[in-house]
């Protein structure tokens, strides 16, 4: 497995490719200040993967390579893997307060593993073998992989082929003997500039008329024809010197990019779905079940970090004994536990797939993701309340560090905790500001892994409402065939389909 | 294991004891209409324990008897037991829409098992042996056991020994050579009139000055000195004939009683705690961790039943395609899944106790209970909304069945579903009325297993806020000793104490 | 104006008509125990109308009679009237904790006043004169009037004329020279059995194909062809003796009935709309604007009563200083104030109609009604929490009054307030039980004046979203014509239409 | 009244004073880019005060000057003034999406008017005359006035005189013949750098031992001894060129500053409270009643702006017909109406003060402020959801305007609305970003006018819970003296004190 310096060297070994930010080109993503916090995140994950205390969370054995690999490069192969994913997401969420940069890739791997198995078994296309070959290489090289998911979508009343501008959905424009050619774009892609590979997936279930959009493949991030536009975050201009870094609130961060695909060629060896539109829905299902399991747990981690920050903020002004403060802190952490529990349960309630994959329970996973679009926002409100208005209007670190001005402020803003300084307090309120406003953490809570409505609808689709109606009908004496309904109750717990290993 | 008729015979074999209801004595609790729905519940549990489809949920092996026993009579002995408890609670919750009558007893067993082990190991009092003897008998006889928990408490500003009326807390008034004598009362005791045994537990942690209240023991429900006053439920007068039963909304129900202890003698062989006040807090902790794990899952079951009823109600008036109806139904069932997940996760995250007991994670269990005091109420509001105002003002079954009046109503209220009748619709809205208003299901959600504030406070006590503060301090650069904090993160997940097997 | 005894005499002077309850006929609604609490309510309103302290709330001058009349018999004629309605609804809501039985009638009067004016002015039908004649009589006789609103509706996917059973919508079956003949039914009609008159209104906007359903008229409650079926409430069997009355929780109550119209003749002099379907939507709008203004304020009153009961319950067990109790009580009463404010504001923001009517602002009124479907439920949960589990399981008054049993319970359940008795505590928890479960108060909150979805949709229709879009477009520089948008902002406050006097 | 250019000239005529920002001095606050959006706000208010469409909202007659003045310089003198304040706050809130910079000053004027009247009447100190003299000058000069309210507070467990650092509370350090000398600081002061005058008020009720903190006076913003430190906002570095301005999301903005008082002299003619600690609580009450009335209405305006932006965002992607979108937009605007109603009602329910002031109802005002700490956050979540993930990750305006890159992005991100451009869409999502994250609008919602807990506690203090208990006691038959309680109900509506004019 790669050390941090090996990772950096491998990034720098990529062929140069166009990255835009605020109207200018970024020459080297490993040195540009706008990407510094994001780079720190990926490096931290490489570092922790070699930390003995994190071995059980961040590594696993690979049947493909026979060796120990980064856990993010493994499909879920057993129930324990699901639990490991939940705990890892929560733990890293606490440490980073930012996206790990590694989850979408791991979930694309977890989704493509059973999907390619089915496609190969049912259609005879050798995509599972191709996928395993690619995966074994990636595991051996210990690469960072992200997924490329969300298309711009244009007018949402129209299907892809009805759009006036066809490139608002990524699609195959040519099928050649040696591979396929892609055109279109992906938006909101987290972490892609610091990854080696991206796994392209369809943004949603594809119908026959849009079969050109049914595409899944692996693309190196430096492939010709790719152009990246780095998106803005509220705090993104706070970088470049230590004071501004302090005002940005955190050591770690992430980035999102718009990716233009302008005739990108992908050789068949890296293509896992190319027009088989009937498989697109299944792929989305396999992917989202794991993705949303993680999305909930990850936000649990961030909420726990926010709870800790809030508690420290309360101590800094001496209100940690106030009843309402204790209630709010308890609510925040109970919220984190709720997300954690839904993720954990989704993993436990999963089932085995013939490919060897472990498929989490979709209803619990979508429910967790749905709550992850709500609970962090209540927590954010509490955190901001308890940090006081000063948390919203604090001066710059540069003011505190100015020889003439600093000492005059310092004595006014010093915390009520022995030994703590005004700078400590500034650091803390900037962390809270970053989590709740300045960084995209709350954007992840809302949109990462799907927005609230998508999660609610997918959860609804998993519910066997006819079965539930029968339970009610038996309970009140409308339905007289009690026996078969009760037998169902003992087994299915209200799901459309319930496969237990 | 007992058949239903053996259970009924055993109940009738109890020595007569005083039960009051609405100013009169109930001679036989197995025939009085006010207890009929409650009796149906207990009988159903005995019946299902012999149903092949429910074997995995309702039975287990006993190391004490070497045979198969009712699962409610077993302590939790492994992680799988915890999951079984979660699934059983949810499944029965769906079928009954009422209290199982068996949970508090099973949780008292689960709590006394490790507690008596510790007390025996540390103090040499042979209480673990006594408890196992009593338990083996109960398992062999397949008895129904409930717990007697909540004292009247009087003025809550005062401690037990400060109360002007000492009997507002159950206490030992005499220690004799052959046993102890109890005086006081327990309130809100569900199911006790139809149980064989009750396990008396302290209502809360006991301090030294109140050591007379530190008492745990097994008391037959027909012990001399016990008097019961059956509490009222809103629908309790709807019984006595089939129409009134229909108007009560359900086939199953439960009852609560006030129990007067007026010098009740308990022989030492049945006494498990008698003055060892230092152990009272631990007992409460062991008991509530399992009790609240169950309380959450049980309400998940009731919510699922309510979801099914609501969906059927929507179909009955033809609005099941309306967007807001689908959203509300999805919210209801996602609420059920959330409670289920917290219960499941509490079991998974538990730890082994030297006694062989499996102790669920308290933070997750209390969180689940806390949410169980909120989510069912939102679900109830949705159910009542979708059932329409007619659900709140429907006429009596007797009106529908009246030869002159009935047909004139029938054609006005017939559902929009082929084959369904106005009576079906009446049954359905009465089920919803019962769950949301007429029975005590919502009272269980609110108070059963502890009220919201108690749950929130106990959850708070489980959180290691100092650890969380350190995580935040590391994240924003206040704290420089990153390594030890990160190692903690990988293991403890923010809990005061975290023992993993 | 009528005294209570005159009111009772006038009720008894009605010709006998069929009332069904639990499969039997009620001979005299003024003496049947099932209607006793409801009758107490109407009597209380007649009594307070003669109480000097309530003159400003319960009476007004009538331009029709030139004398002082019961305020419920007056249309809203000025902004001050709207405020009086808000304050009256809240005040009576506190006293009664039940429906006043008078609101729907007064709101039908308030709606028919401008509607008949328009119909007469635009079509020349002399309905305004007819309506004023009828109204003057009613004012002089000081009658109780209710509205008959909600049709059974059958399959909600179908329009009235598409229903397999046409009588699920009330409709005109014959137009005769002397009047019209009605067939169908109305459900959920509160108070009708104790009223003299009912004002029939369409249940919703009527389209041309359903013009037979576009009917508004005044019908005496004892008109031939009417049959009533009294609906059940959870506590309805608690009546007949003082102990059961105590267990029912309150002195006041209400009732709902299903009304069968089986060829009911209405002379033209009492007909205000008969087929003019184009006017049905306006009538619904005029009616609901006043009705929902009242619905919000009324629930504010009930919530205030519940807050008082909860505070007393907290004092009874000595927890009134606990932080979380104070927070919850504050939330409850702030909820009441919120409903009150929306009602008050809806009245203030109204406009004058050429008829002389004052039309409240619909957006504020619907918003108030919408919140009235939520806030009382949160308050109910808090009240039940603070009243403790005993509030859900308390024994019967008959137990407390039993000479042998009573004293033994009394000392265990005595409140922590000097001089208060266990019976006081029982009364209090029964009041809370009644408001939250036993009576239909919460059903009014949810459905009275329209369900949540109807309120939300009607509120949405009042919003000028295109105007709001322009405001946003100006704010971010998309739209350059700032001046006209800013002028609109100063006047319209985001409404579709805004007429200020 | 001043034109915009006269205002700018008057600002520039101030004597130079120290302003710090990011470690450097700001020489001229009227030209520094960090204050540009804030300056645009104040200028807009001066401009609209001369706009005929805004005359009724932004101006009034002054009894002091006999002429037309800016409404922000008038105390509330009648019920209509309160309504004007509510409507003005909401209207400007929509236009600006930022603080008006004028409210705290106007509310300090509204609070000092009755307070100085009482102090002069009761103690004979000529502070009312002094205040009116100062006010008449300010009205004639048409100055911008802000209030200086919040002290740093240090360790909140300690009272001011117990603090290790006394300057964490502003206090009088010397009383001289010609005036007083102040030391300490104020935090979070909005708008102060662009105002002519600040009104210093105590941060909370002062006890006798802290009488040095009982100080209210008028201080010119350029008084010697004052130093300002401008606080940071997340988007504050987005300024300096048109593209960055576009990325900041809005034309208008605000600023907050920390103000150091280092021996600031205030002549007696400008001192209105100096040690009379018994009056501090009343002053806080008079001030907060008006301040919170405004705080609620102002947030209603911002929410309405956010609703408009969200609706336009929905149209831009073609989802404006989706049910859940319509529901969420309706919820957002109903939230705005709720805040508006509470503000309006607080004004209507006010009472006259002997000074001629109109005092809003404190319970309604605090309730409005309390809800203003919640409802905008739900609205923000909905807005961000509907704006899609692209709203969180959009590229910079500079990218869109780049000749090579821009056109390639433009066609991918063009809205589904005829004629709208990708730049329009960028402007819109930046507006939403600014309101929800980048600017301090949400900080105002949470902290401006007091935090949630302060609002809840002050609301609780206004409730006459003993009276409410009596209402409940009468309702359930505990209390037999019905008459006096019912008379109270008709008049007091549950308030501690209720004075109606």
Please name every residue paired with D60 in a beta bridge, in sequence order, or none if there are none: D69
The count of domains in chain D is: 3
Do the Cβ atoms of A309 and B475 come within 8 Å?
yes
Question: Which residue out of B321, B323, B326, B329 would a mutagenesis test of the D interface target, given it has the greatest number of D Cβ atoms within 10 Å?
Answer: B323
Is residue A271 domain-shared with residue A338, that is, in the same domain?
no
Question: How far D323 CA lies from chain B's nearest CA (Å)?
Answer: 6
* pLDDT band at residue C174 using 50, 70 and 90 as cut-offs: very high
In total, chain A counts a number of residues equal to 501
| Phi and psi, residue B82, nearest 5° | -65, -45
Question: Which residue out of A79, A244, A334 would a mutagenesis test of the B interface target, given it has the greatest number of B Cβ atoms within 10 Å?
Answer: A334
> What DSSP assignment string belongs to B331-370?
HHHHHHHHHHHHHHHHHHT-EE-TTS-EE--HHHHHHHHH
Residues of A in contact with D394 (CB under 8 A): 231-232
* Token duo for residue D130: 């002094």
What is the structure's pLDDT at C499? 46
- Cα dist from A346 to A27, A288, A356, A461, B297, whole Å: 43, 12, 18, 16, 15
Q: What 3-state class would DSSP assign to C51?
A: coil
Residues of C in contact with D308 (CB under 8 A): 465, 467-473
* Spatial distance between the Cα atoms of A309 and A441, rounded to a whole number of angstroms: 15
Question: How far B322 CA lies from chain D's nearest CA (Å)?
Answer: 9
Residues of C in contact with D305 (CB under 8 A): 468, 471-472, 475
- Which residue, of C278, C300, C317, is where some domain finishes? C278
CB-CB contact of D39 with D45 (8 Å) = no
CB atoms within 10 A of CB D496: 14
CB-CB contact of D428 with D417 (8 Å) = no
* Token duo for residue C249: 């929780």
What average pLDDT score do residues C487-494 get? Answer: 81
CB-CB contact of C138 with C2 (8 Å) = no
What is the 8-class DSSP label of residue C236?
Answer: T
Residues of A in contact with C323 (CB under 8 A): 323-324, 327
Q: Which residues 110-139 of B have a C-beta within 8 angstroms of D?
A: none
Do the Cβ atoms of B341 and A341 come within 8 Å?
yes
Which segments within D268-328 are labelled E, that is strand?
271-274
* Token duo for residue A328: 């709010």
Nearest Cβ partner of C345 from D341, D456, D491?
A: D341
What is the structure's pLDDT at D449? 86
Is residue A407 domain-shared with residue A343, that is, in the same domain?
yes
- Cα dist from A177 to A267, A269, A359, B432, C283, whole Å: 9, 12, 35, 63, 71
Question: How far B317 CA lies from chain C's nearest CA (Å)?
Answer: 5
CB atoms within 10 A of CB C262: 14
What is the structure's pLDDT at A500? 42
Which chain B residue is nearest to residue C190, measuring alpha carbons? B393
Segment C395-449, tens digit of pLDDT: 999 999 999 999 999 999 999 999 999 999 999 999 999 999 999 999 999 999 8
H or E stretch at B322: none
CB under 8 Å to D476, separation ≥6 — which residues?
A: C249, C250, C251, C309, C427, C428, C430, C431
| Phi and psi, residue A420, nearest 5° | -85, 150
Question: Which residue out of C319, C321, C322, C324 would a mutagenesis test of the A interface target, given it has the greatest number of A Cβ atoms within 10 Å?
Answer: C324
Residue position matching structure tokens 């948008």: C485
- CATH number of the domain bearing residue C79: 2.40.110.10
CB atoms within 10 A of CB B3: 14
Q: Which residues 303-362 of D have a C-beta within 8 angstroms of B?
A: 323-324, 327
Question: Which residue out of A17, A23, A236 would a mutagenesis test of the D interface target, given it has the greatest number of D Cβ atoms within 10 Å?
Answer: A23
* Token duo for residue A37: 């916090």
* Spatial distance between the Cα atoms of C84 and A160, rounded to a whole number of angstroms: 58
DSSP alpha helix (H) spans, B224-279: 242-248
Residue position matching structure tokens 């014509």: C481
What average pLDDT score do residues C39-48 get? Answer: 98
* pLDDT band at residue C242 using 50, 70 and 90 as cut-offs: very high
What is the structure's pLDDT at B497? 66
Stated pTM of the model: 0.97
Is residue C218 domain-shared with residue C165, that is, in the same domain?
yes
Residues of A in contact with C324 (CB under 8 A): 323, 327
What is the structure's pLDDT at C501? 43
Do the Cβ atoms of B443 and C319 come within 8 Å?
no
Is residue B408 domain-shared with residue B489, that is, in the same domain?
no
CB-CB contact of A486 with B53 (8 Å) = yes
* Spatial distance between the Cα atoms of C384 and B448, rounded to a whole number of angstroms: 12
* Torsion of Cα atoms, C117 then C118 then C120 then C125, to 10°: -120
What is the structure's pLDDT at C497? 66
Question: How far B438 CA lies from chain D's nearest CA (Å)?
Answer: 21
Residue position matching structure tokens 């008329």: A209
Is residue C305 domain-shared with residue C401, that is, in the same domain?
yes
CB-CB contact of A154 with A325 (8 Å) = no
Q: Which residues 161-220 of A have a C-beta within 8 angstroms of B?
A: none
Report CA B199 to chain centroid distance, whole Å.
14
Segment D99-144, tens digit of pLDDT: 999 999 999 999 999 999 999 999 999 999 999 999 999 999 999 9
Is the sign of the CA dihedral A394, A399, A401, A407 positive or negative?
negative
Question: Which residue out of C380, C412, C449, C460 would a mutagenesis test of the B interface target, given it has the greatest number of B Cβ atoms within 10 Å?
Answer: C412
Is residue B334 domain-shared with residue B457, that is, in the same domain?
yes
- Which residue, of C278, C310, C345, is where some domain finishes? C278
Strand D179-190 and strand D256-267: the pairing is antiparallel
Q: Does D364 touch chain C (CB under 8 A)?
A: yes
Segment D457-496, tens digit of pLDDT: 999 999 999 999 999 999 999 987 899 999 989 877 777 7
Do the Cβ atoms of A460 and B326 come within 8 Å?
yes
Residue position matching structure tokens 């996602």: B334
Question: How far A307 CA lies from chain C's nearest CA (Å)?
Answer: 20
Is residue D203 domain-shared with residue D183, that is, in the same domain?
yes
Strand A256-267 and strand A179-190: the pairing is antiparallel
* pLDDT band at residue D497 using 50, 70 and 90 as cut-offs: low
Do the Cβ atoms of C156 and B247 come within 8 Å?
no
Which chain C residue is nearest to residue A321, measuring alpha carbons? C323
CB-CB contact of A368 with A455 (8 Å) = no
- Name the neighbours of A, counting chains with at least 3 Cβ pairs within 8 A: B, C, D
| Phi and psi, residue B94, nearest 5° | -65, -40
Is residue D374 domain-shared with residue D474, that is, in the same domain?
no
Residues of C in contact with A324 (CB under 8 A): 323, 327
Residue A404 burial class via C-beta count within 10 angstroms: exposed 0-12, middle 13-18, buried 19 and up: exposed
Low-confidence ranges of chain B (pLDDT < 70): 497-501
* Token duo for residue D487: 């008379």
- Whether the pLDDT of residue C456 is over 70: the answer is yes
**Among A484-488, C282-286, D244-248, whose mean pLDDT is lowest?**
A484-488
pLDDT tens, N- to C-terminus, chain A (501 residues):
999 999 999 999 999 999 999 999 999 999 999 999 999 999 999 999 999 999 999 999 999 999 999 999 999 999 999 999 999 999 999 999 999 999 999 999 999 999 999 999 999 999 999 999 999 999 999 999 999 999 999 999 999 999 999 999 999 999 999 999 999 999 999 999 999 999 999 999 999 999 999 999 999 999 999 999 999 999 999 998 999 999 999 899 999 999 999 999 999 999 999 999 999 999 999 999 999 999 999 999 999 999 999 999 999 999 999 999 999 999 999 999 999 999 999 999 999 999 999 999 999 999 999 999 999 999 999 999 999 999 999 999 999 999 999 999 999 999 999 999 999 999 999 999 999 999 999 999 999 988 999 999 999 999 999 999 999 999 999 987 899 999 989 877 778 765 444
What is the structure's pLDDT at A189? 97
What is the 8-class DSSP label of residue B28?
Answer: -
What average pLDDT score do residues C464-493 get? Answer: 89
What is the 8-class DSSP label of residue A437?
Answer: I
CB-CB contact of A216 with A283 (8 Å) = yes
For A341-361, give the secondary structure using H, E and C. HHHHHHHHCCEECCCCCEECC
What is the structure's pLDDT at B463? 94
Sheet of C215-220, strand order: C145-148, C197-200, C215-220, C271-274
Segment A345-388, tens digit of pLDDT: 999 999 999 999 999 999 999 999 999 999 999 999 999 999 99
Closest CA to C451 of C374, C377, C348: C374
What is the structure's pLDDT at B480? 79
| Phi and psi, residue B146, nearest 5° | -120, 165
CB-CB contact of A423 with A400 (8 Å) = yes
Residues of C in contact with B405 (CB under 8 A): 20, 23, 227, 229
- Which residue, of C278, C309, C340, is where some domain finishes? C278
Residue position matching structure tokens 């705005």: D336
Q: Which residues 457-486 of A have a C-beta within 8 angstroms of B?
A: 457, 459-460, 463, 465, 467-478, 486
- Cα dist from B178 to B266, B277, C154, D176, whole Å: 8, 21, 70, 85
Is residue A449 domain-shared with residue A471, that is, in the same domain?
no
* Torsion of Cα atoms, C329 then C334 then C335 then C338, to 10°: 170
Is residue C254 domain-shared with residue C212, that is, in the same domain?
yes
What is the structure's pLDDT at C68? 97
Do the Cβ atoms of C389 and B317 come within 8 Å?
no
What average pLDDT does the structure give for chain D?
96
Taking each continuous run of H as one helix and of E as one strand, the counts in chain A are 19, 14
Q: Which residues 48-107 of C have a C-beta within 8 angstroms of B?
A: none
φ/ψ bin of D225: left (φ > 0), alpha (ψ from -120 to 50), beta (otherwise): left
Is residue B176 domain-shared with residue B65, that is, in the same domain?
yes
Do the Cβ atoms of A370 and B493 come within 8 Å?
no
Residues of B in contact with A463 (CB under 8 A): 307, 329-330, 333
Is residue B410 domain-shared with residue B303, that is, in the same domain?
yes
Question: How far C295 CA lies from chain D's nearest CA (Å)?
Answer: 15
What is the structure's pLDDT at B499? 46
Count CB pairs under 8 A between chains A and B: 258
Domain residues for the domain of C129 are: 4-278
* Token duo for residue A238: 């706070």
Do the Cβ atoms of C475 and D53 come within 8 Å?
no
Report CA D46 to chain centroid distance, whole Å.
17
H or E stretch at A176: strand A171-176
- Whether the pLDDT of residue C351 is over 70: the answer is yes
CB-CB contact of A146 with A198 (8 Å) = yes
- Whether the pLDDT of residue D88 is over 50: the answer is yes
Closest CA to A284 of A496, A101, A458: A458
Nearest Cβ partner of B385 from C405, C438, C452?
A: C452
Radius of gyration of chain C (CA): 24
- Give the count of alpha carbons within 13 A of D173, CB side only: 14
Burial B437-467 (b: 16+ CB within 10 A, else e): bbbbbbbbbbbbbbbbbbbbbbbbebbbbeb
- CATH number of the domain bearing residue B302: 1.20.140.10
Segment C135-165, tens digit of pLDDT: 999 999 999 999 999 999 999 999 999 999 9
* Spatial distance between the Cα atoms of A59 and A49, rounded to a whole number of angstroms: 7
Question: How far B161 CA lies from chain C's nearest CA (Å)?
Answer: 15
Segment D255-312, tens digit of pLDDT: 999 999 999 999 999 999 999 999 999 999 999 999 999 999 999 999 999 999 999 9
């Amino acid at each position: 497995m790669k050390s941090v310096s090996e990772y950096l060297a491998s990034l720098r070994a990529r062929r140069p490719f166009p990255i835009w930010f605020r109207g200018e080109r970024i020459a080297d993503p490993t040195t540009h200040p706008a990407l510094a916090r994001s780079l720190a995140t990926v490096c931290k994950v490489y570092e922790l993967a070699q930390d003995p205390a994190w071995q059980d969370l961040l590594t696993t054995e690979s049947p493909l390579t026979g060796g120990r690999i980064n856990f993010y490069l493994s499909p879920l192969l057993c129930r324990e893997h699901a639990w490991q994913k939940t705990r890892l997401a929560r733990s890293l969420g606490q440490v980073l307060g930012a996206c790990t940069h590694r989850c979408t890739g791991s979930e694309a791997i977890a989704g493509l593993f059973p999907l390619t198995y089915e496609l190969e078994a049912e259609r005879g296309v050798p995509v599972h073998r191709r996928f395993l070959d690619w995966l074994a290489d990636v595991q051996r090289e210990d690469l960072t992989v992200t997924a490329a998911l969300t298309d711009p979508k244009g007018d949402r009343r129209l299907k892809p082929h009805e759009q006036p501008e066809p490139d608002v959905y990524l699609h195959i424009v040519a099928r050649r003997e040696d591979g396929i050619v892609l055109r279109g774009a992906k938006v909101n892609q987290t972490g892609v500039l610091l990854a080696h590979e991206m796994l392209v997936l369809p943004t949603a279930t594809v119908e026959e008329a849009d079969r050109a959009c049914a595409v899944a493949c692996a693309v190196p991030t430096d492939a010709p024809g790719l152009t990246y536009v780095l998106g803005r975050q509220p705090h993104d201009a706070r970088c470049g010197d230590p004071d501004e870094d302090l005002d940005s609130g955190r050591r770690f961060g992430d980035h999102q990019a718009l990716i233009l695909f302008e005739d990108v060629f992908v050789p068949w060896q890296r293509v896992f779905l190319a027009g088989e539109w009937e498989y697109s829905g299944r792929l989305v299902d396999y992917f989202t079940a794991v993705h949303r399991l993680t999305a909930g747990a990850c936000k649990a981690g961030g909420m726990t970090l926010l709870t800790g920050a809030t508690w420290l903020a309360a101590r800094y002004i001496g209100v940690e004994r106030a009843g309402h403060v204790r209630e709010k802190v308890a609510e925040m952490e109970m919220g984190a536990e709720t997300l954690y529990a839904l993720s954990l349960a989704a993993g436990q309630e999963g089932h085995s797939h013939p490919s060897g994959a472990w498929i989490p329970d979709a209803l619990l996973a979508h429910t967790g993701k749905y709550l992850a679009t709500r609970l962090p926002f209540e927590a954010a409100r509490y955190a901001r309340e308890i940090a006081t208005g000063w948390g919203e209007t604090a001066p710059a670190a540069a003011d505190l560090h100015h020889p003439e001005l600093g000492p005059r402020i310092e004595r006014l803003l010093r915390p009520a905790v022995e030994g703590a300084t005004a700078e400590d307090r500034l650091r803390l309120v900037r962390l809270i500001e970053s989590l709740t406003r300045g960084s995209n953490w709350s954007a992840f809570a809302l949109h990462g892994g799907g927005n609230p409505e998508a999660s609610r609808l997918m959860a609804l689709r998993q519910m066997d409402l006819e079965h539930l109606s029968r339970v009610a009908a038996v309970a009140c004496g409308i339905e007289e065939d009690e026996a078969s309904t009760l037998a169902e109750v003992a087994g299915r717990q209200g799901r459309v389909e319930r496969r237990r290993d």
